Amino acid sequence: MAKVPKTPSRKRGNLPPLELHVPEPKYRPGDAVDYSDLVIPPAGAQPRPDETCAAEETYPLCTDLVRVLGDDDKAVGPWDPRLDAETLRRMLRAMALTRAFDDRMYRAQRQGKTSFYMKCTGEEAIAIAAAFALADDDMVFPSYRQQGILVARNYPLVEMVNQIYSNRADRLKGRQLPIMYSAKEYGFFSISGNLTTQYPQAVGWAMASAIKGDTRIATSFIGEGSTAEGDFHAAMTFATVYNAPVVLNVVNNQWAISSFSGIAGAERTTFAARAIGYGMAGIRVDGNDALAVFAAVRWAADRARANKGPTLIEHFTYRAEGHSTSDDPSSYRSAQESVEWPLGDPIARLKRHLIALGEWSEEQQATMDREVAEEVKAASKEAEKNGILGHGLHHPFKTMFEDVFEELPWHLEEQAEQAIRERRVKWPDWKE
């Protein structure tokens, strides 16, 4: 095969040679971490426009950071949603339950009971507070780190574990990667491993809701790395052009697997600022402040319901754990990053807020932590009765041909019969 000759570099006069910029994270394994250059405005300092305002009135918020909980653990400013203590306690419990669930499922993967798991440690406030801010029948198009939405909507933990174990009680019949749940009756669209597909799906669903004259809105979540996908921009265009009643969330947890957020454009501006180029309302919010997340999502949901169109929300947070059980973050980032993260832990912050209100205590927190751990343990034990990875308790072989077509085509019927016949010949003792 003939070699293609290299194009020689050309210099014109005194012009300097062109240089390519490849973003590099500030800290690598072993480095000391210094977040002093991170601009964190005081809580309560951000103005709260009316939900029906023109989109451009929100543009200062795209480069600011909406915060409610101050350093004294008290809620301040116009974004304070003024939630009652009972709602705050339910929110705190849902966050604690989600973390307890993650911890147990992580251990289950290490024990070989499932092949894969993804934790949302440090990001619990985003899914939980968003779920509390939305109506129960609003449709959610999640990514793979919003298990808290199912927890907040009281989806049975046993069903979640069944899906993770891909056992005989798995409603999805082992057809989805563990943690890629689907629960239509809970307004939770099927999670996809293909990045950003949920954005245009959410916009399309919202457009259909508007066409039908419904009152339900849609929301979707992606990581900041997914904003580099074409689907992100297609969704933003359709949402703005057709004024779709949708809330689009970008969870900026600083890392897309081993690529830091600068690869997706964080060095240039915020991810919320991408709303400006589309003429869409935008908000950048402290993702570790449950009250701020609730307030921002409720604001955007109210705006969508008032037929004022979509909102892009950037949740500024940090991924405290690895990307998944297949990831080792110590190989590409400093171990001190999560420890030094200046916005703290979302569960601890909400706990301290309730204590500051006189509505909670450390003793109550310890009791609740034990209770949720036991609840997760019981659900896990119940699910294990239906089987775990590789232990033979799975859906019958014939089900692999079901639930795709309303009526199975003749050629697939023939293939199914042949596969089942060959299986019986090979394993005479096999039971369906």
pLDDT digits (tens, 9 = 90+) for 34-89: 999 999 999 999 999 999 999 999 999 999 999 999 999 999 999 999 999 999 99
Q: What pLDDT, on the 0 to 100 scale, is given for residue 160?
A: 98
Q: What pLDDT, on the 0 to 100 scale, is given for residue 5?
A: 63
Q: What is the pLDDT of residues 86-107, one digit of tens each?
A: 999 999 999 999 999 999 999 9
Domain co-membership, 189 together with 308: yes
Domain co-membership, 377 together with 404: no
Q: Give the range of the structural domain holding residue 72, as residue numbers without chain letter.
A: 55-384
Q: What pLDDT, on the 0 to 100 scale, is given for residue 2?
A: 58
Average pLDDT over residues 316-334: 96
Give 1's pLDDT tier (boundaries 50, 70, 90).
Answer: low
Q: What is the pLDDT of residues 189-226, one digit of tens each?
A: 999 989 999 999 999 999 999 999 999 999 999 999 99
Q: What pLDDT, on the 0 to 100 scale, is given for residue 382?
A: 98
Domain co-membership, 243 together with 134: yes
Residue 424 pLDDT greater than 80, yes or no: yes
Domain co-membership, 154 together with 243: yes
Higher local confidence (pLDDT), 403 or 141: 141
Q: Does the residue 207 lie in any domain?
A: yes
Domain co-membership, 206 together with 148: yes
Q: What is the pLDDT of residues 127-144, one digit of tens each?
A: 999 999 999 999 999 999
Q: What pLDDT, on the 0 to 100 scale, is given for residue 3?
A: 65
Instruction: Please give the mean pLDDT across all residues of the chain.
Output: 95
Q: Does the residue 180 lie in any domain?
A: yes
Give 11's pLDDT tier (boundaries 50, 70, 90).
Answer: confident
Q: Does the residue 266 lie in any domain?
A: yes
Domain co-membership, 102 together with 179: yes
Q: Show the 3-state SS of the chain.
A: CCCCCCCCCCCCCCCCCCCCCCCCCCCCCCCCCCCCCCCCCCCCCCCCCCCCCCHHHHHHHHCCCECCECCCCCECCCCCCCCCHHHHHHHHHHHHHHHHHHHHHHHHHHCCCCCCCCCCCCCHHHHHHHHHHCCCCCEEECCCCCHHHHHHCCCCHHHHHHHHHCCCCCCCCCCCCCCCCCEHHHCECCCCCCCCCHHHHHHHHHHHHHHCCCCCCEEEEEEHHHHHCHHHHHHHHHHHHCCCCEEEEEEECCEECCEEHHHHCCCCCCCCCHHHHHCCEEEEEECCCHHHHHHHHHHHHHHHHCCCCCEEEEEECCCCCCCCCCCCHHHCCCCHHHHHCCCCCHHHHHHHHHHHCCCCCHHHHHHHHHHHHHHHHHHHHHHHCCCCCCCCCCCCHHHHHCCCCCCCCHHHHHHHHHHHHHHHHHCCCCCC
CATH of the domain at 247: 3.40.50.970
Domain co-membership, 234 together with 87: yes
Domain co-membership, 292 together with 408: no
Please tell me the total count of domains within the chain.
2
Q: Does the residue 327 lie in any domain?
A: yes
